[in-house]
Amino acid sequence: MASEATHDAQQQPDQAPAQLAPEPATLLLADTDPETQASLSDLLDEEGCRILTADSGQDALATLQREPVDMLLCAARLPDMDGLELLRRAQEGWPDCLRLLICDESAGLEGALPAINETHVYGCLAKPWDQERLRQLLQQSLEQLGAQHERLQRETSLQQQNQNLQALNATQEQRIEACEQELKQTSDMLETAYDELLHFHVMAARMVAHLLHQRLPRHLQTNDQVYALVTAFGEMYGLDTTLQQDLQLAASVYNMGKLTWDDHLLLTPSEQLSGHERTAYQHYPVSGESQLVALDPLKRVAKLVRHHRERWNGNGFPDRLAGTDIPYGSRLLGLAVDFIELQRGMVLPREVPRPQALALLRKFAGRIYDPELCHDFVKLCVEKTPDLHTGGKAVVSLETRQVKPGMILAQDIHSASGMLLLHEGKRLDQHLLAKLMNFEELEGRSFTILVYRP
């Protein structure tokens, strides 16, 4: 049976006890020799230790399992097992417990050295021992034990500090994440508000442009075709998304500066204008810009509108910019506008057939138009025909005398006054073609007939 011998710690006036742990060290003495137990108990009592005793190896193991033990002093021989076997089990189950072996010097330790080294025994107490040397060994053992306690305390303290830091970091991360979420929500709200404001301004600009449309004959309403061209160009050549959006809006409102014009000025081809009419014509990009720039989100669009009548050689208006000083979007918008307005009779006093309009763009590349951009634009118009809304069907542009009975119209035909003569999809016959020729003679102009390629 294991028994506990607890003694009050007493300090000798000439020797201070080892104050190495916050509580007295607990030592387990496993030995059946009463003399050894008494001698060691007296000495350890002086050092302020708490002493437990065990009469066998099993008692010692049970004590180790039942409560924490700082040091195990074990006799070389116990009734039920070898002392080294007990130390080996103690090492496996309680590696932090300091282990000392009590042995008879007459028995010799040479054969037991490998086992002693294997079990990492801190020291051996050989009988008969010198009292002073025994005291020194025990003090050294207690100092070692105190060092272990301090190391464990530091490790525990560091571990606790690490846990506190991790908790603090986690809290900070949560706060940062919460702040980021709040900032994102605020940003999303601002972005939504900006999008709503931009949408409102875009709709306002388009409504103003629509007022102009209501005054124009159908065949002079060009914005949808210009819009289709700049959209297709952006998709084909991979323009920046923001630029594409600006170009689309500019195509919808590029002519809103003409809103104050009278009907005569609206219906007169630009090449036939002179005097104050010519001055008013050259001012319409600036007028359009002034209406758009008042809407702050549309300032980029306003700039595109202002400069879409500049020329590559610097002879355009309103600012006589030249070359790459002209904004890229304005150069593209000017190409699209001229291409459509040439076909509608808004530039020359006649409607220019689509192939001839493309030929004119090529001819003036390097003078009016950016040559490289003009090449890409003409390629788009030839390959994609986005301005014709043909749903992918091939279209050919012909003069009336070239049209054959049975061909199907790809675009409405209007009179000079804007009256619808024939609608898209109409199959032409000899009688209808004769009527179109009569209209040409009466109005003194030629029609450009767009038909689906047979």
| In-domain check, residue 372 | yes
pLDDT, average across residues 259-277 = 93
Q: What is residue 112's DSSP assignment?
A: G
| pLDDT at residue 143, as a whole number | 80
Residue 220 and residue 343 in one domain: yes
Give the CATH number, domain containing residue 75.
3.40.50.2300
Specify whether 237 is located in the same domain as 111.
Answer: no
Whats the size of the chain, residue-wise? 454
Residues 446/350, Cβ–Cβ less than 8 Å: yes
Query: How many structural domains are present in the chain?
Result: 3
Residue 238 is predicted with a pLDDT of: 95
Check whether 270 has a pLDDT greater than 50: yes
pLDDT at residue 221 tops 70: yes
Q: CA torsion angle for 137, 141, 144, 146 (degrees, to 10)? A: -120
- pLDDT value at residue 204: 63
Higher pLDDT, 6 or 348: 348
The predicted structure's pLDDT at residue 274: 92
Kindly state the percentage of the chain with pLDDT values over 90: 38
Do 80 and 10 lie in one domain? The reply is yes
Q: Rounded to 5 degrees, what are φ and ψ at 335?
A: -60, -50
Does residue 347 belong to any structural domain of this protein?
Answer: yes
Residue 284 has pLDDT above 90, yes or no: yes
Taking 50 as the threshold, does the pLDDT of residue 313 lie above it?
yes
Taking residues 398-408, report their average pLDDT.
Answer: 90
Q: What is the pLDDT of residue 4?
A: 42
Query: Would 133 be classed as within a structural domain?
Result: yes
Instruction: Give the residue among 42, 39, 99, 50 at the shortest CA–CA distance from 72.
Output: 99
Question: How many other CB atoms are there within 10 angstroms of residue 260's CB atom?
Answer: 11
Q: Mean pLDDT in the chain?
A: 83
Shared domain check, 335 and 406: no
Position 252 in a domain: yes
Closest CA to 5 of 46, 35, 49, 66: 49
pLDDT at 392 over 60: no
Each residue of 106-163: pLDDT tens digit? 555 555 566 576 667 877 777 777 777 777 777 787 787 777 778 888 888 888 888 8
Look up the CATH number of the domain holding residue 416.
3.90.105
- Is the domain of 10 the same as that of 126? yes
**Would you state the pLDDT for residue 374?**
97
> Are residues 260 and 326 located together in one domain of the fold?
yes
- What does the radius of gyration of the chain's CA atoms come to, in whole angstroms? 51
Over residues 61-87, mean pLDDT? 90
Rounded Cα gap, residues 195 and 203, in angstroms = 12
Mean pLDDT of 22-34: 83
Tell whether the model's pLDDT for residue 105 goes beyond 70: no
Residue 163 domain flag = no
Instruction: Indicate the residue among 374, 389, 404 that finishes a domain.
Output: 389
Which residue is it, tokens 């075709």? 225
Boundaries of domain holding 381? 216-389
Closest among 449, 437, 451, 447 to 408, alpha carbons compared: 451
CB 105 within 8 A of CB 126: yes
Residue 127 lies in a domain: yes
* Residue entry with tokens 């199907």: 408
| pLDDT of 8 higher than 70 | no
Entry pTM: 0.51
Hey, what amino acid is at 116? I
pLDDT at 366: 97
Residues 253 and 302 in one domain: yes
Mean pLDDT across the stretch 19-38?
77
CATH number of 285's domain:
1.10.3210.10
Q: Same domain, yes or no, for 137 and 234?
A: no
Residue 36 has pLDDT above 90, yes or no: no
Which of 167-181, 329-343, 371-385 is most confident? 329-343
> Are both 425 and 291 inside the same structural domain?
no
251 belongs to a structural domain? yes
In this prediction, residue 7 has a pLDDT band, given cuts at 50, 70 and 90, of: very low
Domain assignment of residue 452, yes or no:
yes
Q: Residue 409 is which amino acid?
A: L
With a CB cutoff of 8 Å and minimum separation 6, the contacts of 319 are 306, 307, 310
- Sheet containing strand 26-30, edge to edge, reads 3-5, 50-54, 26-30, 71-75, 98-104, 123-127
- Domain final residue, candidates 157, 179, 206: 157
Q: Which of 113, 134, 157 is the last residue of a domain?
A: 157
Q: What is the pLDDT of residues 188-209, one digit of tens each?
A: 776 776 666 666 556 666 666 6
Check residue 17 and give its pLDDT: 41
Lowest mean pLDDT of 192-206, 327-341, 384-398, name the range.
192-206
Whether 79 and 107 share a structural domain: yes
Indicate if 32 and 138 belong to the same structural domain: yes
Residue 331 has pLDDT above 70, yes or no: yes
The pLDDT tens digits for 351-382 are 898 889 999 999 999 999 999 999 999 999 98
One domain, residues 385 and 396: no
